[in-house]
Amino acid sequence: MYAATATSIDPEDPLSGLTLGEIAEPDPPQGWVRVAVKAASLNHHDLWTLRGVGITIDRLPMVLGCDAAGVTDDGDEVVVHAVIGDKDAGRGDETLDPRRSLLSEVHPGTFADHVWVPAENVIPKPVELSFVEAACLPTAWLTAYRMLMTKSRLRMGDTVLVQGAGGGVATAAIQLADVLGFRVWATSRSEEKRARALQLGAHEVFETGARLPERVDAVIETVGAATWSHSLKSLRPGGVVVVSGATSGANPPADLSRVYFLQLSVIGSTMGTREELAALLELCVDTGLRPTIDAQWDLHDARSAFERLASGDVVGKLVLTN
């Protein structure tokens, strides 16, 4: 089968390890199902893999990709849940299984003609969503949904600040927060991305680090070191910062005195459960919400998609199709 595979690791030149071509079909564990991939979307996770984050050389070559929508051998149209984990080991939440992984970390990913996953990791694709739209949801959108709905403690009418408008999770968070009834503020260094954030549903936008008109109830943080201080300073007493990434660095000054004096909560969040993905699909159907798609390519031209992702000049999702 044809696939986009990580064959080597280079932190400085990640795309040097990207190989496109025919590979042998894997031998999946018993009870797993095969999905013919119709569409798969890129995430920064794919670039981090090529840099050697979350994977070791002994696992290479590894088919890249976490997200997919496609058709099972039985003819069912499905969305693939990328978290491979044991719900019981996570006390009812597979993302809390200490041994959980994402597709493309331990098991081959979705940038291929076919992907194999546990039977419980396929969810019926609503007929209202195209394969391309559905393939955008299982990682970035699910992450944003869990941050907002499960972790943030937000109530309708509360104000949420989304740092770094333009990234996949941030873009999803802006759209989701708006449709969920929150007041949405967003930041970006780019005037173009700030304008785009307004189109996506942000009520106000600001330059990164700018003083806000008032403090917010929660912050959606995926940037890390570059925005961390601003995130803490932007919270009202008792506010919450939910963090699911640190693309600009993972070790900023903690500012613990501010955290305890203002009784702030810092909550980590990673991906989401099968049930949360099903709820996200239902929300998209009920509200008409659809993921923003920046561009799409055929799987055979995956290198162009990776180059676009690496450039950072993206608003929304990049998609590969078969």
Q: For position 212, which CATH number holds?
A: 3.40.50.720
Q: Is 72 left (phi over 0), alpha (psi -120 to 50) or beta?
A: beta
Cα separation values, 15 from 5, 11, 49, 200, 303, Å: 11, 9, 10, 30, 8
Predicted local distance difference test score (pLDDT) of residue 39? 98
Q: Do 9 and 127 share a domain, yes or no?
A: yes
DSSP state at residue 274: H
In a domain? residue 303: yes
Q: pTM value? A: 0.95
Q: Do 49 and 25 share a domain, yes or no?
A: yes
Q: Do 68 and 147 share a domain, yes or no?
A: no
d(CA 209, CA 177): 21
Q: Residue 65: which CATH number?
A: 3.90.180.10
In a domain? residue 282: no
Q: Do 168 and 246 share a domain, yes or no?
A: yes
In a domain? residue 8: yes
Cα separation values, 279 from 163, 203, 282, Å: 25, 25, 5
Closest CA to 218 of 255, 264, 175: 264
Q: Is 47 left (phi over 0), alpha (psi -120 to 50) or beta?
A: alpha
77 bridge partner residues: 71
Q: Do 193 and 317 share a domain, yes or no?
A: no
Q: Do 73 and 174 share a domain, yes or no?
A: no
Q: Do 132 and 145 share a domain, yes or no?
A: no
176 lies in which domain range? Answer: 141-268
Q: Do 95 and 64 share a domain, yes or no?
A: yes
- Average pLDDT of adjacent 10-residue blocks, the chain of 322 residues: 97 96 93 97 95 94 98 98 97 97 97 98 98 97 98 97 91 96 96 94 97 98 96 98 93 96 98 98 97 95 96 89 96
Q: Do 229 and 310 share a domain, yes or no?
A: no
In a domain? residue 7: yes
From the CB of residue 207, how many other CB atoms can be counted at a distance below 10 Å? Answer: 12
Q: Do 149 and 132 share a domain, yes or no?
A: no
CB 111, CB 64: distance < 8 Å: yes
d(CA 221, CA 267): 10
Predicted local distance difference test score (pLDDT) of residue 34? 98
Cα separation values, 321 from 33, 112, 124, 126, Å: 20, 10, 19, 18
Q: In this structure, what token pair is assigned to residue 128?
A: 């209202």
Predicted local distance difference test score (pLDDT) of residue 76? 98
CB 126, CB 287: distance < 8 Å: no
Q: In 3-state terms, what secondary structure has residue 176? A: helix
- Span 251-278, pLDDT tens digits: 999 999 999 999 999 999 999 999 999 9
d(CA 248, CA 61): 27
In a domain? residue 317: yes
Q: Do 246 and 314 share a domain, yes or no?
A: no
Of 268, 283, 310, which closes a domain? Answer: 268
Q: Are strands 122-124 and 77-80 parallel, antiparallel or unpaired?
A: antiparallel
Q: Do 10 and 98 share a domain, yes or no?
A: yes
In a domain? residue 283: no
Domain count, the chain: 2
- Span 39-81, pLDDT tens digits: 999 999 999 999 999 899 999 999 999 999 999 999 999 999 9
